[in-house]
Amino acid sequence: MLPIVQHPAAAKEFVNDPNRSRWHDQALWFVRSKRDKQAASLPEWEYLRETASGIKTHTIANLAHYLQEFERNATARGAVVHWARDADHHNEIVLRILRDHKTKRIVKSKSMLTEECGLNHYLEDNGIDVVDTDLGERIVQLRGETPSHIVLPAIHIKKEEVGDTFHKHLGTDEGASDPKYLAEAARGHLRDKFLAGEIGITGVNFAIAETGGLVVCTNEGNADLGTSLPRVHIACMGIEKLLPRQRDLGVFTRLLARSATGQPITSYTSHFNGPRDENSELHIVLVDNGRSRLRESETFRAAMHCIRCGACMNTCPVYRRSGGHSYRATVPGPIGSVLSPTRDQNSYKSLPYACSLCGSCSDVCPVKIPLHHQLLAWRGELVGKKLLPLSKRLSMRCASYLFRFPALFRLVGKVGRFALRVLPRWATHNRLNVWTIARELPEPPKESFHQWHRRHRNH
């Protein structure tokens, strides 16, 4: 059983530290602004989103067909295709490949899927040394943390903190916090790891049914370095990563980096068609882990369109202020709040409420997932299953009664406004009234519009 996440409590410390939340908000807003510029540079932006959404809808509907086509073509190119029903199964498959090759040193590039499956822990428990090679992931790994963002794993960490971590683990100068200096130190440190790596593990951005090929996008070049030295490459992917045809990449490579970081494309968009050569191996692990179940839901199926660009996080005003760890999930932010309860409704029931329903995520999403409508739909499901606290359900029941009986509504309103006017401030502005912790209550008018209307317009 997972512990129940109460987002407001989990976010409290972060949001109430202005040095943290305002700085974090600004950093992500900067990324979103870069995205806006790139999106605006293409007159066909909305057309691309529309097309991407159409391609994904088609693919997910016809998923069994494309998975088999992919398997066939990848196998023909010499890859070994494994099927994992869930996270544990995925981890077992990876471990078996490592054991078969008697390897202990793994270099891994960014993969949200392996985060979702908890691969690192599992392998470490089995005596295998896994090095995350993406700089941000390496930073969180050295600190014993998890990524707080799916594209910018260390966005919550300040450069001084990175300096401390590197001083401790990589021997950089004490107090050094210059990003250039620190990145250079990481380059040297990770070069050695790359050269010593026995197997490279990567995620997958897109898998092409028609060719059996894989596409991996990085800026650092770590996926490429990690797979072009060792003889064995393991690529782990959720079954939703498929695209029917290679030319569909034209749409997705144009959207992905622009949405993610405001770059026109990632530094490296690498196409892997089978293993490197006759003496190498490519293992592809197709992971379900709840995806085929998610596909059954009319309401939430579109969440499978997600290409993990992170734009919904960058734009989310709640995420920006509360930080990724407040979601206590591998994928935070709007898409995480949609996906997490599909895994465990009770544990993640507060996440669909960690949203002001502003709708910015739905407008920013390159594959047009109606994120805020899905979050609203989640609320209905949770209430239907009585997972919302009784006090909240009762207060809504009362409100509903009030609004069904206008005379009662007017009476309660009158009493309330009267009370607000005559009660001493301490009685209305106290910690029991959550509204007033940070805000004043409105100044109550003497009469409602209804009363005014009676007096001024003949009725």
Partner 1 sequence: MTVALFVPCYIDQLYPDVAIATLELLERLGVDVAYPDGQTCCGQPMANTGCETDTAPVARRLVDLFADFEAVVCPSGSCVSMVRNHYAAYFDPEDAKFQHVTSKTYELCEYLHDVVGVTHLDVKFPHRVSLHQSCHGLRELRLGQSSESMTPRENKVRKLLNLVEGIEWVEPDRPDDCCGFGGTFAVNEADVSAEMGRARIADHCDKGSEVLASADMSCLMHLQGLIRREKNPIQVMHVAQILSGRPLGAA
Partner 2 sequence: MMKPTLADTDARQGILDRINTKHVDIPPLPDVDVDRVIQFDEPIDKFVEMLAMVGGQAHQVDSQADVRAQLEEIEVFRTATRIVSLAPESIAGTIDATQIEDPHDLSTVDWTIARGEFMVAENGSIWIDGDTLPHRVLLFIAQYLAIVVPRSQIVSNMHQAYERIENFSARFGVFVSGPSKTADIEQSLVLGAHGCRKLQVLIVGDL
Positions 279 through 338 that interact with ligand SF4 (CB under 6 A): 306-312, 335
Q: Which residues in 29-58 are b (16+ Cβ under 10 Å) and which e?
A: eebbebbeebbeeeeebeebbebbbebbbe
Indicate the residue among 268 and 409 with the shorter CB distance to partner 1. Answer: 409
Indicate the residue among 23 and 401 with the shorter CB distance to partner 2. Answer: 23
Q: 74 is in the binding site of which of partner 1, ligand SF4, partner 2, none (Cβ under 5 to 8 A by kind)?
A: none
User: Is 42 a binder of partner 2 (CB under 8 A)?
Assistant: yes
Site string for partner 2, 189-228 (x = CB under 8 A): -xx--xx-----------------------xxxx-xx--x
**116, 239 contact by CB (below 8 A):** no
- Residues 104 and 251: their CA atoms lie apart, in Å, by 39
- What does the block give as tokens for 334? 């709007």
Residues numbered 346-385 forming contacts with ligand SF4, rule: CB under 6 A: 364-367, 369, 371
The residues with which 234 forms a beta bridge, in sequence order, are: 201, 283
User: Is 55 a binder of ligand SF4 (CB under 6 A)?
Assistant: no
User: Is 393 a binder of partner 1 (CB under 8 A)?
Assistant: yes
CB of 237 to partner 2, least distance (A): 13
Q: 82 is in the binding site of which of partner 2, ligand SF4, partner 1, none (Cβ under 5 to 8 A by kind)?
A: partner 2
CB of 148 to ligand SF4, least distance (A): 14
| Binder among 37, 392, 421, 425 for partner 1 (CB under 8 A) | 392
User: Is 5 a binder of ligand SF4 (CB under 6 A)?
Assistant: no
User: Is 216 a binder of ligand SF4 (CB under 6 A)?
Assistant: no
Residues numbered 12-71 forming contacts with partner 1, rule: CB under 8 A: 12, 15-16, 21-22, 25, 29, 36, 39-40, 42, 45-46
CB of 442 to partner 1, least distance (A): 5
Site string for partner 2, 297-336 (x = CB under 8 A): ----x-----------------------------------
User: Is 131 a binder of ligand SF4 (CB under 6 A)?
Assistant: no
User: Is 139 a binder of partner 2 (CB under 8 A)?
Assistant: yes
Task: Count residues near ligand SF4 (CB under 6 A).
Answer: 15
Residues numbered 420-449 forming contacts with partner 1, rule: CB under 8 A: 434-442, 444-445, 447-449
Site string for ligand SF4, 237-276 (x = CB under 6 A): ----------------------x-----------------
Indicate the residue among 6 and 228 with the shorter CB distance to partner 2. Answer: 228
Residues numbered 21-40 forming contacts with partner 2, rule: CB under 8 A: 27, 30-31
Please give the residue ranges that form the binding site for ligand SF4 (CB under 6 A).
259, 306-312, 335, 364-367, 369, 371
